[in-house]
Amino acid sequence: MPNIISRPSWYLPDSAAIAESIYLNRRHFIKALGLGAAAMAVTARCGVAQPISVPRTDPSVEKLGPLPAYKTNPNFSDPGRPLTSLDDERNPLAFNNFYEFGTRKYQPAISARGFTLDPYALEIGGLVKEPVKLGLEDVEALGVEERVYRFRCVEAWAMTVPWVGVPLAKILAKVDILPEAKYVAFQTFLDPERASGQKAQNYDWPYKEGLRLDEAMNEMTMAVTGMYGKRLLPQSGTPLRIIAPWKYGYKGAKSVVKITLTAGQPATLWNTALASEYKFYSNVDPEVPHPRWSQASEKMLSDLSPPESVPTQWYNGYGEQVGAMYADMKRVLY
Ligand SMILES: Nc1nc2c(c(=O)[nH]1)N[C@H]1C(S)=C(S)[C@@H](COP(=O)(O)O)O[C@H]1N2
Ligand SMILES: [Mo]
């Protein structure tokens, strides 16, 4: 194994990280939202502005109406570690990866505000007998449930989130899948005018991801429409995203509009951009380092600064649910 000393770019002491991009973003954010000085406080710890609190609603999302009634699935109610609090300094509604709305962590919560795909349609096509288009109500009519999952980004930060959604297998059951189909491709919307990150030439927009068909059908894989009891905000992938919690976070596309059944392994945005760093499988594995950093440990979103870190679990701890799918593959895989 190579001697890995470098670290992901966010992996900085608070003082350094906050002093640059985040602090500036916060000032923009406060302006953009018309929030007053009350939203800002001074932290004794690093002497710069505290994160402002991100609104937990968005008018564009309110228009979609509330989530349908749901229950927590008892098989996935105990993630074995505390939920990531929305009151934490870095929290899942403020700290995001959603490159369509900017590459800095605190940008999407600002620049995606008001974004909507309403009226929404999820197209399912490719190697199916008859393609279908489902509205959000059609998807949710298949039965929404809550599941608390561990989440692990390839950048080695982690969180624990109560997602609300529909098992993807229930959605795929709406089409007759042809026997040649072996993979499932996911595609995000394409609208560079509203999502200016898509004007960046270095990525093959729209965002694309894929799973093997059995992975897509696995009980763990969810089409998520809500989190923390509410509909997804724009920065979290309104109105529907994919979550496959034994894989690195980028395998789950946000704001998905199209699902295509394919015979061959589909191209993905990250693999196309940087094949040496982002492979198709991308299963969480402490023994397979990213070329630029170790994956042996991870940090919770609320506590990114050293020294606290916890060991990474193989398959993010979901080996019991997903391990059998890889029985005939080598241990070392991405
Ligand atoms: N369309 C789209 N989906 C995406 C991304 C993205 O940039 N665009 N980023 C991925 C990455 S790298 C991660 S870690 C998660 C982040 O989800 P979060 O911001 O809700 O934590 O979304 C994934 N899905
Ligand atoms: Mo990620």
CA distance 228 to 92: 10
The residue whose CB lies within 8 Å of the most ligand 1 atoms, and thus the one to mutate among 84, 86, 97, 150, is 97
Structure confidence by residue, pLDDT tens digits, 38-81: 333 322 233 333 455 789 999 999 999 999 999 999 999 999 99
CA of 128 to the centre of ligand 2 (A): 30
Percent of the chain scored above 90 by pLDDT?
A: 78
**Distant-in-sequence, close-in-space partners of 39: CB < 8 Å, separation ≥ 6:** 30, 52, 53
**Distant-in-sequence, close-in-space partners of 65: CB < 8 Å, separation ≥ 6:** none
Q: Which long-range CB contacts under 8 A does 94-97 form with residues at least 24 apart?
A: 94/51, 94/54, 95/301, 96/235, 96/236, 97/153, 97/155, 97/249, 97/250
pLDDT on residue 230:
97
Backbone angles phi, psi at 42, to 5 degrees: -100, 135
Band of residue 194 on the pLDDT scale cut at 50, 70, 90:
very high
pLDDT on residue 331:
64
Ligand 1 neighbours (beta carbon < 6 A) = 92, 96-100, 153, 188, 207, 236, 249-250, 252-255
**Ligand number nearest to the C-alpha of 255:** 1
CA of 254 to the centre of ligand 1 (A): 6
The residue whose CB lies within 8 Å of the most ligand 1 atoms, and thus the one to mutate among 88, 150, 208, 250, is 250
Mean pLDDT over each residue of the chain, to the nearest integer: 86
Residue 27 has pLDDT above 60, yes or no: no
Residue 307 has pLDDT above 50, yes or no: yes
CA of 96 to the centre of ligand 1 (A): 7
Structure confidence by residue, pLDDT tens digits, 83-125: 999 988 789 999 999 999 999 999 999 999 999 999 999 999 9
Q: Span 279-283, mean pLDDT?
A: 95
- The protein residue whose alpha carbon is closest to atom 7 in ligand 1 is 98
Q: From its phi and psi, is residue 317 left (phi > 0), alpha (psi between -120 and 50) or beta?
A: left
Structure confidence by residue, pLDDT tens digits, 178-189: 999 999 999 999
CB within 5 A of ion ligand 2: which residues? Answer: 97, 153-154, 249-250
| For the CA of 95, the nearest atom of ligand 1 | 19
pLDDT on residue 332:
56
Band of residue 334 on the pLDDT scale cut at 50, 70, 90:
low
Output 331 or 193, whichever has higher pLDDT: 193
